[in-house]
Amino acid sequence: MPSFVENWLKSAALEVQEYVRLVVAAMRGVVSRPIYRHDIIEQLDVIGIGSLTVVLLTGLFTGMAITAQSGLTLDQFGARAVVGRLVGASMIKELGPVLTALMLTGRIGSGIAAELGSMMVTDQINALRALGTDPIRKLVVPRMIAGFLMTPVLTVISDFVGITGGWIVSRFQLQVNTGLYWSSVRDGLYLQDVYGMGLVKPFVFGFIIVTVACHVGMRTSGGTAGVGKATTVAVVASSVLVIAADFFLNQILLTLLY
């Protein structure tokens, strides 16, 4: 039993060590040459534009669902008119960043882990090294930059679409006046909510999703079964880390900003 615990702790420590090494090497790759600009632009397109549909749909339906549910609850206090306040705050501070990050984990995290994992098991990563290319600079850095920059952009879009979805439900189902809804949304938010909770979180989440997926992908072994396992591990680990990071970021930001 002690040997099982010891082995588990050793392998966990090794994973953390390798993750940190990858992140440090990638950070160094961001600020030194060679920089593969073409790959960065390609990844901005793949991660940003490619994820737009899933983020739009998730934001829209989440905003609509939360508005319908909140309307019922607020009716008990005769406060249906302030539904916009609840929807705006929920979307921008919590649901927008977290749900967008979880959707990106499924779409981007799994894709990156599978792609790099396949390259690993078919010796393509070694071929890159043999041809004089640093795989971290060529594969990890462009994905890290794109994930870090595009997650906040997608989150803002998701927030806006979610609040707009909330307006559709509040106007046509809850019969709340349009002007009242939008002024309620505005009244319910502080500036710190928008730039603190709404924008700091997505940067951190984007970084976590992409670096974890790259780390898992680059450590794949065991053929096609290994690629499948790497994909699952990347999605599960990123999802848990995003939710855990959300809690800790909340605590830090609440202390610092409010």
> What is the Cα–Cα distance from 144 to 155, expressed in whole angstroms?
17
Minimum distance from residue 32 beta carbon to another protein (Å): 10
Minimum CB distance to another protein smaller for 103 or for 113: 113
Q: Could you give the C-alpha distances from 38 to 48, 127, 134, 215, in angstroms and in order? A: 15, 20, 15, 22
Considering beta carbons, is residue 125 or 242 the nearer one to another protein? 125
Q: What are the DSSP E strand ranges found in 91-220?
A: none
The phi, psi pair for 14, rounded to 5°, reads -65, -45
39 and 142 in contact (C-beta within 8 Å)? yes
Question: Which residue's CB is nearer to another protein, number 70 or number 110?
Answer: 110
| Nearest distance in Å: CB 46, another protein | 11
DSSP state of 173: T
Least distance to another protein, CB of residue 224, Å: 13
Nearest-approach distance from CB 129 to another protein, in angstroms: 6
- Which of 85, 61, 59, 90 lies closest to 74 in space, CA to CA? 85
Q: Compute the residue count for the chain.
A: 258
Instruction: Estimate the crossing angle of helix 96-104 against helix 199-218, to 10 degrees.
Output: 20
CB-nearer residue toward another protein: 131 or 191: 131
Strand ranges (DSSP E) for the chain?
Answer: none
Going from the C-alpha of 63 to that of each of 28, 83, 170, the distances in angstroms are: 40, 11, 10
The CB-of-147 to another protein minimum distance in angstroms stands at: 19
User: Which CB, 39 or 94, lies closer to another protein?
Assistant: 39
The smaller minimum CB distance to another protein, of residues 36 and 203, is found at: 36
Residue 234: CB minimum distance to another protein, A = 19
Q: What is the rounded radius of gyration, in angstroms, for the C-alpha atoms of the chain? A: 21
Binding site for another protein (CB under 8 A): 34, 36, 118-119, 122-124, 126-127, 129-134, 138
**CA 130 – CA 116 distance, rounded (Å):** 17
CB nearer to another protein: pick between 66 and 145: 145
Beta carbon of residue 5, minimum distance to another protein (angstroms, whole number)? 20
